[in-house]
Chains A and B, each alone.
Chain A
């Protein structure tokens, strides 16, 4: 029984958030608003299905293709700065929202990537994101975009290094935790 509860812990957390948001929607506009929220979520899900399918396939084939030794050498704990820089590059180049890059990060975690590498990957996706640059220039203008990139440029590798340095040893626990 305890195993079951552990297995569905994240489901419970998300469900509580949904109930909380549902109540907020209800107080704002009754059942119509609740229904509108559900409809909105489902339509975005439907719209993103092709992207989700590609993300899950990429995650699966990455795991199937990449040999454990390769991950250990290039993205594991021993890879050091090399692995973190590689992860930054990958994160910066990969397109799509969180439902696209987290399945891929999860595949890397399962295959033996280090904590610093994973933190660098996600942070670079969030801060370097190449696919976002044209939009950022177009909407926010040159000044904001260039200054924002300049200021946050070093953060992905730096955060990866710090994470690896201080918490790198906890990667086994993190992997077990993600498997549940």
Chain B
């Protein structure tokens, strides 16, 4: 079991304790709301994980590796923003790949853009965002976020060349 799971279960336990102190009605309401959210999203979560599975076996990592290698400067930064969106998986998958790219000669600025874009613009996480937040929120957050990885990359160029 991952540390994230353990920490989140601890948070759940604390919330449960508070609900228990607040009375049985709050506990019931908590379970009821949790169940309602689960029922409403089971199919969507299932579909989102199917997308994760397909993306995993299509391994866009290879694509990212072959593209970002030689590119540098502002072209590298723009490319890194797009590639960051395509990078699937958690930090355990993505950081080793980024480390390889850095060792292969990718500049600091594209690398920072790549990490930032993977963090905020990842297309794969949208599958989990849409069910809970709706398309309107997703559009606003993702749309506003588009400039962030670029800004981070260009700031890196200004500060550290």
Contact = CB atoms under 8 A, between A and B. Distances in A.
A95 B6 CA distance: 9
A60 B111 contact: no
B127 interface: yes
Nearest to A126: B119
Q: Is the interface of B mostly helix, strand, loop or mixed?
A: helix
B112 A144 contact: yes
A60 B140 CA distance: 25
Contacts of B134: 174, 177-180
B104 interface: no
A61 B16 contact: yes
B32 A177 contact: no
B140 to A, nearest CB: 6
A37 B119 CA distance: 24
Contacts of A180: 134
Given A40-B56, A63-B33, A58 B116 contact: no
Determine the main DSSP class of A at the interface with B.
Answer: helix
Contact of A122 (B95, B130, B141): B141
Nearest to A17: B51
Nearest to A14: B47
B49 interface: yes
Interface in B105-131: 108, 111-112, 115-116, 119-120, 125, 127-131
Interface in A112-146: 115, 118-119, 122-123, 126-127, 129, 131-132, 135-136, 139-141, 143-144
B8 A96 contact: yes
A4 B27 CA distance: 32
A167 B144 CA distance: 11
A48 to B, nearest CB: 8
Interface string A52-66: 101111111111110
A110 B135 CA distance: 15
Contact of A36 (B57, B96, B127): B57
Given A95-B3, A96-B5, 12 more contacts: A10-B44, A10-B135, A37-B53, A51-B4, A54-B5, A55-B8, A60-B33, A132-B91, A139-B91, A143-B108, A159-B145, A177-B135
Interface of A: 9-11, 13-15, 17-18, 21-22, 24-25, 28, 33, 36-45, 48, 50-52, 54-65, 94-100, 102-103, 105-107, 109, 115, 118-119, 122-123, 126-127, 129, 131-132, 135-136, 139-141, 143-144, 147-148, 151-152, 155, 159, 162-163, 167, 170, 173-174, 177-180
8 contacts: A10-B131, A25-B54, A37-B54, A50-B1, A118-B133, A129-B119, A144-B108, A152-B116
